[in-house]
Amino acid sequence: MRKNEQKPFQSPYTHKKSGKIWLPKNYINFSKEKNRFILIIPQEFVTIEWNKNESCGFMENKNLIDLEAMSVEQLAKIVKKAKKIMQSPADYRHACDGKILATLFYEPSTRTQMSFQTAMLKLGGRTIGFDNPMNSSVSKGENLKDTISVISGYADIIAIRHPTEGTAMAASLYSEVPLINCGDGGHLHPTQTLTDIVTLSCEKGRLDHLKIGVCGDLLNGRTVHSLIKTLAKYEGNSFVLVSTPELCVPLYIIDILEKNGCAYEISNSLADAVTDLDVLYMTRIQRERFKSEEDYQAQKNVFVLDREKLDRAPQDMIILHPLPRVNEITVDIDDDPRALYFKQAQYGMFGRMALILLLLQDEDFLIPARETQVCDLRCNNPKCITRHEAYLPNLSYEKLGMRMCEYCDKRID
Ligand code: NCD
């Protein structure tokens, strides 16, 4: 595209039914001037004159980076679709014939990668990808932008996991096809949350008015961050955050709870917390995210759900865990009817089938993007992708008068 190009603008993302144009996340609005948007197209700045009234889908896209942007109606649509698939999987056997999913896993995975692959195979599509970046050109020093630019020319949809915070957001800037965050460092894991809400909806019959205990590594556990952000959207949910002081949830998660008016308690006793919960969400201590082995050793095995503690819990409380389990739930609990973590992993596959279908086939299923600005400051979170991939633009958004990094959600000013 040439610089300063004017309308008519041919977007590959024209909504077929309404004729409206929506743009992927890589076209980022950073000018608030009326009728004028300055857009970033990878590595290039472009200005387009635009009539705001014609572009109501302007900020929407097909990338699932963070469930925060999704409305409860959209979440309900995913859950509903997942349930329909569960009821009659045969009806979906050819739903994605000819489509290709790329799974780019820069970090180990069992469930997320395989459930995405199985989901696509069950929909009639095929999969490509890597689960060890050292077997790809990453080992030769290829940057994220180049890998994504190439893969998005091969695949119809991309699922990516990476050890660095904000990577999925960064990758989405260079993807021509829908891109799904399968975990970015200790930041977020939105499709685990889809797994969790499908499970809650099927097993508890609701996503609201739940008292949820979350226990373990609440600082580094990305599943916890996505889960709290999402369940905070529903009325009447309250949280008991059980962790050591060192592994308490990040402040931005507390901000979200407060902004949404959710009741929450901070606790250091699993035995006390468990007596009055609808859901207990256990997580492992994230060894790979610690600075030293010594720090990890000090935190491991502090909270263990065993038979004695479970005996104090209500009979209708359910136990969830994103897995893998290390020691935080003793194996003798697996046969308790409240232990749903293996079933939860199966629900996840149906949630991912629903997500793939909605992203690839439902033109109306668009994910709203945040209003983002280019700023002078570079994020100084050492775990942020912007510290590792120098070409990335500095992008930020405003929250409660502060500038936050668009990639990793940490404060940058
Ligand atoms: C989680 C992850 O990768 O964040 N696993 C998963 O995807 N089910 C949880 C974890 O690794 O502890």
Q: What are the DSSP calls for 95-141, one per residue?
A: TTTT-EEEEEESS--SHHHHHHHHHHHHTT-EEEEES-GGGSGGGGT
What is the pLDDT at residue 323? 98
Residue 399, pLDDT score: 85
| Alpha carbon distance 296, 286 (integer Å) | 8
Using the mean position of ligand 1's atoms as its centre, give its distance from the Cα of residue 136 in Å: 23
Give the closest residue (by CA) to ligand 1 atom 7: 112
Residue 303 tokens read as 């909270």
* pTM, two decimal places: 0.88
User: Is the N-terminal amide bond of 324 cis, ω within 30° of 0?
Assistant: yes
- Written as one string, the DSSP assignment of 320-350 is E--S--SSSB-GGGTTSTTB-HHHHHHHHHH
The CA 188 to ligand 1 mean position distance, Å, reads 10
What pLDDT digit, counting tens, does each position of 293-305 carry?
999 999 999 999 9
Residue type, 154: Y
pLDDT, position 59 = 56
**Amino acid 36: pLDDT:** 37
Helix, strand, coil percentages for the chain (3-state, nearest 5)? 35, 20, 45
Q: Give the containing element (helix H, strand E) for 398.
A: strand 395-399
pLDDT at 342: 98
Q: Which ligand 1 atom sits closest to the C-alpha of 107? A: 3
> In whole angstroms, how large is the CA radius of gyration of the chain?
21
- 28: closest CA among 367, 396, 373? 373
pLDDT at 176: 87
CA distances from 352 to 44, 75, 296, 345 (A): 34, 12, 32, 11
Give 160 Cα–ligand 1 centroid separation in angstroms: 13
Peptide bond into 393 cis (omega under 30): no
pLDDT (0 to 100) of residue 27 = 47
**How many angstroms separate the alpha carbon of residue 250 from the centre of ligand 1?**
18
pLDDT at 22: 44
One fold for 67-189+347-361 and 370-413:
no
In single-letter form, the type of residue at position 375 comes to C
Please name the residues in contact with 369: beta carbons below 8 A apart, sequence gap of 6 or more. 25, 28, 59, 60, 61, 69
Q: Which two tokens stand for residue 26?
A: 């890589």
Specify the pLDDT at position 370.
76
Q: Supply the pLDDT for residue 396.
A: 86
Ligand 1 centroid to residue 189 C-alpha, Å: 8
Residue of 110, 112, 341 to mutate, ligand 1, most atoms within 8 A of C-beta = 112
Token pair for residue 25?
């996340």
Class of domain 190-346: alpha beta
CA gap 63, 197 in Å, rounded: 19
Q: Which atom of ligand 1 is nearest to the CA of 217?
A: 12
Q: Whose CA is nearest to atom 8 of ligand 1?
A: 322
CA of 324 to the centre of ligand 1 (A): 6
Q: Which residue has the tokens 């002078």?
A: 376
Tokens of 293: 């082995």
Distance CA 354, CA 383 (A): 31
- Per CATH, the homologous superfamily of domain 67-189+347-361 is Aspartate/ornithine carbamoyltransferase (3.40.50.1370)
CA–CA dist 275, 279 (Å, integer): 11
Give domain 370-413's CATH architecture.
Roll (2.30)
Q: What is the pLDDT of residues 387-406, one digit of tens each?
A: 999 989 888 888 888 899 99
Annotated domain spans of the chain: 1-61, 67-189+347-361, 190-346, 370-413
Phi-psi region of 283 (alpha: psi -120 to 50; beta: other; left: phi over 0): beta
- How far apart are the CA of 47 and the centre of ligand 1, in A? 41
Q: Are 237 and 212 in contact (CB under 8 A)?
A: yes
**Pocket around ligand 1: residues whose beta carbon is below 6 Å from it?**
111-112, 183, 189, 192, 222-223, 283-284, 322-324
Q: Give me the pLDDT at residue 238, please.
A: 98
Q: Return the ligand 1 atom nearest residue 182 CA.
A: 7
- pLDDT lower than 70: segments of the chain: 1-59
